[in-house]
Amino acid sequence: MADAVIDLLGPEDMPVIVDLYNQIFRPARDLASFERRFRGRYNILRLLARIGNEPVGFFIGFELKPTVFFSWFYGVLPPYRRMGIASQIMDVVHEWARQQDYESVRLECHNGHRPMLHLCIAKGYDIVGIRWDPDRGDNLVIFEKLLTP
């Protein structure tokens, strides 16, 4: 089990997240595509997971509505997967969202991303829906976790 350090990042740190994103996901995105997605968004959260000084994972999310925080992307580099890093990041997101008075956290996960589906269920998320992603030709499973006891 890795013991990653999770750092809160600012907008000026987006290039490191874009670099990690492009090492993990396809198609690649540039900084401008992230900036467009963030336009008009409130409470953007950027987290970086690192082991020592090496960035190994990230998180980005934003407010979906006043009571719901949306987890847009979790990513961990392949050599560092199955070490608990995504779980550590998720715990930080949940605690941060509680401190911001959100009632729940929502995320969407492609049906084929089994490790993330398992992590969501292990972390107490409920499946609240499903939607078709025409860009990828796959179903997205919609998860939500209540943050209040």
Q: Taking the model in full, what pTM does it have?
A: 0.93
For residue 139, give its domain range: 5-146
Find the CATH number of the domain harbouring 133: 3.40.630.30
- How sure is the predictor about 112, in pLDDT bands with cuts at 50, 70 and 90? confident
Question: Can you tell me the distance from the alpha carbon of 125 to that of 119, in angstroms, rounded to the nearest whole number?
Answer: 9
What percent of the chain is modeled with pLDDT above 70?
Answer: 99
- Per-residue pLDDT at 17 exceeds 80: yes
Q: How far apart are CA 73 and CA 71, in angstroms?
A: 6
Count of domains for the chain: 1
